[in-house]
Amino acid sequence: MNLAEILVFTDIRQLHQIANHYGCECNPHSKNELITTLMTSLRHRQTMKQEVEQLTCTETHFLLLLFLDKRTMLSLEDLMAKAGVALDAGNERKQEEARRFIASAMKRGWVFPAKSKTVGQYQIPSDIREPYLQAWLDKWQRETSPFAQEPGAYRDEGTALCDDIMQFLQFLQQEPIPLTSDGGMYKRYQTQLFQFLHVKEEPLPPQKWRFGYGLHFDLYPDRFSLLYDFCYYQKWIEEASGRVAITEGGTEQLLRQYEEKIYHDLIRFWLRLYKRAIPNLPMLVQLIPLMTAGNWVDQETLCRSLLPWMKPFYYDDPGNILKNRVLKMMVHLGLLKVGQSDSMEWMYAGTYASQTWLRKYNGFTETTILLK
């Protein structure tokens, strides 16, 4: 629902709170006048610009978590979870802070109780999402001057990961591969297989710690680990009797033509797989393509802007998570293209695939203007 429809059904107490927050001058006893005044104020670009300018880093984080979630209804638990992520909340005191965040969002006119039979449902007006996101992007661009010259050469992997899934299945179709006592393919088989893949990786060297980003993350390099786990999840491969082999489902998949659905399923799988370690991942996967839409942004600028919203995962520090678990994997998934500047600084730009996927498969309708 848009703002006009929502205000009609909003409790007059919340209308008074919103009017007080924005300093609106109107007859407080007339709901019709309150709604008319708030409609003018809340949808005004200058009002949104001023609100965004005044937000703290944590409040900005909460705003982005709210407006980049395209669900039409959110439960109180959803709102608490978002406030908890923004606050990094875990204890009871921070739970109280999360409730204050939600109350503040309601006073700002960002969140409203939904008029539905289900108690505890909330909604965000559909027509204020894009203007608020645009206001934040404008502020970020003014303060950061983020855009750089296009590099002389860059890499766009597109759907190469899907092609390599088929290469892996064909490799297994020749014969099952024996597994070590740790459950991984012997390195000579990995080396042989990796020669056929579009992006070259090396078998992992002996190491003490590697954890947290998938079932086989401790056995294989990043990109192939995701590829392997996806095939395993789809039941295209199976591990039995000390070997990994293609299944009947995997053989059937090889006989089919390439389907765009596989690509989108792979992105969704990656989001689910990595979200436990990176709670902000759904937000980042939408925000970074907006920040890099049609322009190149260097890695240092992205890190400066996004690291305040990252937290470590065991021994993986926020910088490594952003660079290697988010940006690098978005390149592998075709959501970003990567190049190097003359000073050898890594640079990223959004791809057509990221725009298409965010609009078509993740509900990105109101923010289309940002992606042009």
Predicted local distance difference test score (pLDDT) of residue 343: 81
Q: Exposed, middle or buried by CB within 10 Å (0-12, 13-18, 19+), for 19?
A: buried
**Contact status, residue 314 vs residue 308, Cβ threshold 8 Å:** no
Predicted local distance difference test score (pLDDT) of residue 93: 67
Predicted local distance difference test score (pLDDT) of residue 135: 96
Per-residue pLDDT of the chain in tens (372 residues, 90 and over written 9): 899 999 999 999 999 999 999 998 888 788 899 999 999 888 889 999 999 999 999 999 999 999 998 888 899 999 999 999 998 755 566 788 899 999 999 999 999 999 876 778 999 999 999 999 999 999 999 999 888 889 989 999 999 999 999 999 999 999 999 999 999 999 999 999 999 999 999 999 887 777 779 999 999 999 999 999 999 999 999 999 999 999 999 999 999 877 888 999 999 999 999 998 999 999 999 999 999 998 999 999 999 999 999 999 988 999 999 999 999 999 999 999 999 988 888 999 999 888 877 666 554 333 333 333
Which amino acid type is present at position 268? R
Structural domain boundaries of the chain?
3-127, 147-155+273-371, 160-260
**Contact status, residue 317 vs residue 273, Cβ threshold 8 Å:** no
The C-alpha atoms of residue 194 and residue 187 are separated, in whole angstroms, by 10
List the structure tokens of 363. Answer: 């509900």
- DSSP state letters, 293-334: TTSEEEHHHHHHHHGGG---BTTB-HHHIIIIIIIHHHHHTT
Predicted local distance difference test score (pLDDT) of residue 371: 32
Return the residue matching tokens 């392997």. 228
Predicted local distance difference test score (pLDDT) of residue 368: 36
The C-alpha atoms of residue 31 and residue 110 are separated, in whole angstroms, by 19
Return the residue matching tokens 């107490």. 13
* CB-based burial, 102-139: b 16+ in 10 Å, e otherwise: bebbbbbbbbbbbeeeeeebbbbbbbbbbbbbbbbbee
Predicted local distance difference test score (pLDDT) of residue 96: 87
Whether 3-127 shares its CATH topology with 160-260 is answered yes
Beta bridge partners of 346: 340
Predicted local distance difference test score (pLDDT) of residue 301: 94
The C-alpha atoms of residue 237 and residue 247 are separated, in whole angstroms, by 5
Beta bridge partners of 297: 147, 348
User: For the domain bounded by 3-127, which CATH number is listed?
Assistant: 1.10.10
Domain 147-155+273-371 in this protein, CATH class: mainly alpha
User: For the domain bounded by 160-260, which CATH number is listed?
Assistant: 1.10.10
The C-alpha atoms of residue 216 and residue 201 are separated, in whole angstroms, by 15
